[in-house]
A and B are shown apart, each in its own frame.
Chain A
Amino acid sequence: MSQFFQIQDIGAITPELELVAFGMFLLIFDLLIPDKRKLGLIALAGIAISSLFLFRLRNTDFAAYGGVLALDPFSIFFKFIFLIAAALSIAISLKYLDIERENHGEYYALILFATMGMMFMAGAVDLVTLYIGLETMAIATYVLVGFLRSNQRSNEASMKYFLLGAFSSGILLYGMSLLYGLSGSTRFVVIAEELSRRPLTDPISMVAMITLSAGMFFKVAAVPFHQWTPDAYEGAPTSITAFMSVAVKAASFAMMVRIFMVAIYPLRPQWVPIMAAVSVMTMTIGNIAAITQSNVKRMLAYSSISHAGYILIGFIAGNETGLTAVPLYLFIYTFTNLGAWAVVVALRRKDVIGEQIDDMAGLFFRHPSGAVLMLIFLLSLAGIPPTAGFIGKYYLFAAAIQTGHNTLAVIAVLNAAISIYFYFRIVVAMFMREATEKTGLVYAPGLTMTLAIATLFTLLIGVYPDPFIAMARQTVIHGF
Chain B
Amino acid sequence: MDYFREHILTIVAFWPLAGMIVLMLFNKENKTLIRWWANFVMIVGFVISIPLWVWFDRDNADQMQFVQNIPWIQTLGANYHVGIDGISLLLVMLTTLLGPLAVLSSWEAIHDRVKEYYFFMLMLQAGMLGVFISLDFFLFYVFWEVMLVPMYFIIGVWGGPRKLYAAIKFFLYTLFGSVLLLLGILALYFIYPSLAVQHPEVASRFGTGSTFDVLAFQAVASYLPFSYQYWIFLAFFVGFAIKVPMFPFHTWLPDAHVEAPTAGSVILAAVLLKMGTYGFLRFSLPILPDGTKYFVPFMIGLSIIAIIYGALVAMMQPDMKKLVAYSSVSHMGFVTLGMFALNPNGLNGSIIQQINHGISTGALFLIVGIIYERRHTREIAQLGGLSNVMPMYSVVFLIMTLSSIGLPLLNGFIGEFTIIMGALQQNLWFAVAAGSGIVLGAAYMLWLYQRTMLGKIENPANEKLIDMNLRELATLVPLIIVAFWIGLYPAPFFRVLDKPVNNLVLKVRPDYFQGAQRLNAEIREPR
Contacts and interface: CB of A to CB of B under 8 A. Distances in A.
Q: From B146, B157, B168, B175, name the one whose CB has the most chain A CB atoms within 10 angstroms.
A: B175
A432 B163 CA distance: 10
Given A385-B146, A413-B180, A466 B73 contact: yes
B142 interface: yes
Contacts of A420: 171-172, 175
Contacts of B53: none
Nearest to B142: A385
Contacts of B176: 414, 417
A417 B239 CA distance: 13
B183 A469 contact: no
Contacts of B182: 394, 397, 413
Q: Select the residue from B180, B183, B187 with max chain A CB neighbours within 10 A.
A: B183
A451 interface: no
Nearest to A379: B149
B167 to A, nearest CB: 8
B180 A466 contact: no
Contacts of A470: 75
B190 A402 contact: yes
Contact of B179 (A379, A386, A401, A416): A416
Contacts of B153: 431
B179 A469 contact: no
Contacts of B163: 432
Interface string B139-165: 001100110110011001100000110
A409 interface: yes
Contact of B142 (A386, A418, A469): A386
B76 interface: yes
A417 B74 CA distance: 27
B76 A469 contact: yes
A469 B73 contact: yes
Given A414-B179, A465-B73, A469-B76, A401 B186 contact: yes
A424 B148 CA distance: 13
B15 interface: no
Nearest to B138: A394
Contacts of B141: 385
Interface string A237-260: 000000000000000000000000
A107 to B, nearest CB: 38
A421 interface: yes
Interface residue range, chain B? 20 to 34
Interface string B65-85: 000000011111000000000
A460 interface: no
A212 interface: no
A398 interface: yes
Interface in B74-115: 74-76
A414 B168 CA distance: 15
B189 interface: yes
Contacts of A473: 75
B168 A397 contact: no
Contacts of B190: 398, 401-402
Interface in A379-436: 379, 384-386, 390, 394, 397-398, 401-402, 406, 409-410, 413-414, 416-418, 420-421, 424, 428, 431-432
A428 B169 CA distance: 13
Given A379-B149, A385-B142, A413 B157 contact: no
A431 B179 contact: no
Contacts of B156: 428, 431-432
B36 to A, nearest CB: 23
Interface string A300-332: 000000000000000000000000000000000
A405 to B, nearest CB: 11
B75 A466 contact: yes
Contacts of A397: 182-183, 186
A390 B182 CA distance: 11
Contact of B187 (A384, A390, A401): A401
B146 A421 contact: no
B168 A424 contact: yes
Interface string B168-197: 100110011001101100110110000000
A402 B180 CA distance: 15
Contacts of B72: 464, 466
A464 B71 CA distance: 11
Contacts of B179: 413-414, 416-417
Contact of A398 (B73, B142, B157, B186): B186
A248 to B, nearest CB: 29
Contact of A384 (B74, B76, B148, B168): B148
B180 A386 contact: no
B499 to A, nearest CB: 33
Q: Which of B145, B148, B164, B182 has the most CB of A within 10 A?
A: B182
A298 to B, nearest CB: 21
Given A413-B182, A466-B73, A421 B157 contact: no
A385 to B, nearest CB: 4
Interface string B485-527: 0000000000000000000000000000000000000000000
Contacts of B175: 417, 420
Contacts of A394: 182
A375 to B, nearest CB: 8
Contact of B183 (A379, A410, A431, A432): A410
A428 B164 contact: yes
Nearest to A419: B175
B189 to A, nearest CB: 7
A413 B163 CA distance: 26
A177 to B, nearest CB: 42
A401 B163 CA distance: 37
A125 B313 CA distance: 67
A306 to B, nearest CB: 15
A470 B153 CA distance: 35
A331 to B, nearest CB: 14
B146 A417 contact: no
Nearest to A401: B186
B294 to A, nearest CB: 19
Interface string A456-480: 0000000011100110010000000
Contacts of A414: 176, 179
A409 B73 contact: no
B396 to A, nearest CB: 34
Contacts of A416: 179
Contacts of A418: 172
Contacts of A417: 172, 175-176, 179
B45 to A, nearest CB: 21
A209 B70 CA distance: 48
Contacts of B180: 410, 413
B408 to A, nearest CB: 45
Contacts of B189: 398
Nearest to B177: A417
A307 to B, nearest CB: 16
Contact of B164 (A401, A406, A409, A432): A432
Contacts of B145: 384-385, 390
Contact of B172 (A385, A402, A421, A466): A421
B24 to A, nearest CB: 10
21 contacts: A386-B142, A390-B145, A398-B190, A401-B186, A401-B187, A406-B183, A410-B183, A413-B179, A413-B180, A414-B176, A420-B175, A421-B168, A424-B171, A428-B156, A428-B168, A431-B156, A464-B73, A466-B72, A466-B73, A469-B76, A473-B75
Interface of B: 72-76, 141-142, 145-146, 148-149, 152-153, 156-157, 163-164, 168, 171-172, 175-176, 179-180, 182-183, 186-187, 189-190, 231
Given A414-B176, A420-B175, A421-B172, 17 more contacts: A390-B142, A390-B145, A406-B231, A409-B186, A413-B180, A413-B182, A413-B183, A414-B179, A417-B176, A418-B172, A420-B171, A421-B168, A428-B156, A428-B168, A465-B75, A466-B72, A470-B75
Q: List the 7 closest A-B pairs by CB distance, nearest first.
A: A413-B179, A401-B186, A385-B142, A469-B75, A417-B175, A417-B176, A402-B190
